[in-house]
Structure 1
Amino acid sequence: MKPVFLIKGECMVSVTNLYLCRMYLISKLKHQATPDELAELQEFMAALKQMPQDLGRLLYLKYFTMGEYRPRYLGHPRSHHRKLPLGIRRNWCVKCGTHPEMAEILGITRQEVSFLEKRAVKALAETLLEMRLANAQTEAMEV
């Protein structure tokens, strides 16, 4: 997946594979998440709901429905000696759905899945940027 970076004014949005995987981890491990991570997850889910329905469903299918997570140091020969670092991102690793798997489920070609995913990521980034700009404007008005 090609990452998307959008900047407008003082707001910046970066939507990458790691960002989407982190949102999946936070949604599954809410009891270990910090308040900032939970706020970021709420912003992400609100943006996902505002996107066009077919594009939002594609991202949800790949990262949330088909996603799997496991402890990062599982199977490491010295894992019982190693102290796990703090935070969700460092303790867990994620595997999301692949394009061939998604193409089989959706009944379309891999190329179409790739094209739709690029559109979905760009739409998500634009929606997040609009939300952050609106939020920054409201905070400026309150001050």
Structure 2
Amino acid sequence: DALDALVDRAVADGATALVRGRTVGNVVGPTVLTDLPEGSPLLQQEILGPVALLLTFDGEEEAVRIVNRGPYGLSGAVHTRDAERGVKFAQRIVSGMFHVNDSTVQDDPLVAFGGEKTSGVGRLNGEAVVEAFTTQRWMSIQHGRSVFPY
């Protein structure tokens, strides 16, 4: 219901739904929106649902500005023929994860998963999860009398 309300509000505020997914029970169909006004609430929050926002921009500088101006930074992706250019772009984005020529949703149990800014604190999976849920403790036991020097 919350996701449908966000999409409905965006359309009421001037966005165009190129595809409008239906919600059946707990299953939400994909929605593709374009023509979002610059102040649209959808541009300032994590949607965490099957909604793609198509934005126009003039060049990489403006694209970086658009991506980084929001308060969230969980994951992102860029698709390009030039992978090196994609990596250079990715390095300028403030997010916990960024993918070149792949989807934004990747949850490999061996790789740290987490975001920047308001997208969460810390990382899960891989060594990060061991660190997050482990407290190092050193204990020793001496049977008998210690002798100094060793």
Bucket of the pairwise TM-score, normalised by the shorter protein = under 0.3
Task: With the length of structure 1 as denominator, give the TM-score of the two structures.
Answer: 0.23
Structure with more strand by fraction: 2
Greater length-normalized contact order (CA 8 Å, ≥ 6 residues apart): 1
